[in-house]
Amino acid sequence: MKFQTDKKIVAMDAQTEASIKALAELKALVTAKEVELGVLRQFATPANPDVVRVEDQLRELKKQLAMLETKGANPEADGFPSLSEAPELGLQYIRLKRDAVTQQTVFELLTQQYEMAKIEEAKEDIAFQVIDTAIPPEEKIKPKRKLIVMLAGVVSAFAGIFLVFFLEYLENMKKREEEEKAS
């Protein structure tokens, strides 16, 4: 707006603005695809199908952008008017507006991708993360089976001896009671 008031530009041709918007959107898409490709290259190999797909899309977008820019400079092309036909101030205005629209479109596309990435990250709900893998010990420390078997043997031997003495004591008690009843 400041540029318009300083240079006293009232309005631009509708087709010129349409060509500017088309160029800006294509440049924004190219920039967004380059960012997406850069992110993919950090995590995937060049042979990954997603990387190949994004590279193909980027190549096609660049072809379309080059074709649109050459049509804009070519007077025989009847799709969009030539940008060089506008007066010098109009060109400056168009360039500034194109940059603003490009930045806005890139911002919108990156914001959408960021939101989608946040949603995907929330879906992954990882409960734990393995920091170090487990390594089996070279020697067993616990339980000490030899000690347990030896203690069980000793305890069972003492329990057996105690049981024998206790059973003999009970037998002797019965004999005494029988002798007392008989006498």
* Low-confidence winner among 63-77, 94-108, 160-174 (lowest mean pLDDT): 63-77
| pTM of the predicted protein model | 0.41
Residue 143 lies in a domain: yes
State which of 63-67, 71-75, 141-145, 169-173 shows the largest mean pLDDT.
Answer: 169-173
Residue 131 lies in a domain: no
Residue 129 lies in a domain: no
Range of the domain at 66: 2-123
Residue 175 has a pLDDT of 92
Q: How far apart are alpha carbons 105 and 118 in whole angstroms?
A: 20
Residue 5 has a pLDDT of 60
Determine contact, residues 83/94, Cβ cutoff 8 Å: yes
Residue 86 lies in a domain: yes
Domain total of the chain: 2
pLDDT for 8 beyond 50: no
Q: How far apart are alpha carbons 62 and 144 in whole angstroms?
A: 72
Length of the chain measured in residues: 183
- Average of per-residue pLDDT values in the chain: 80
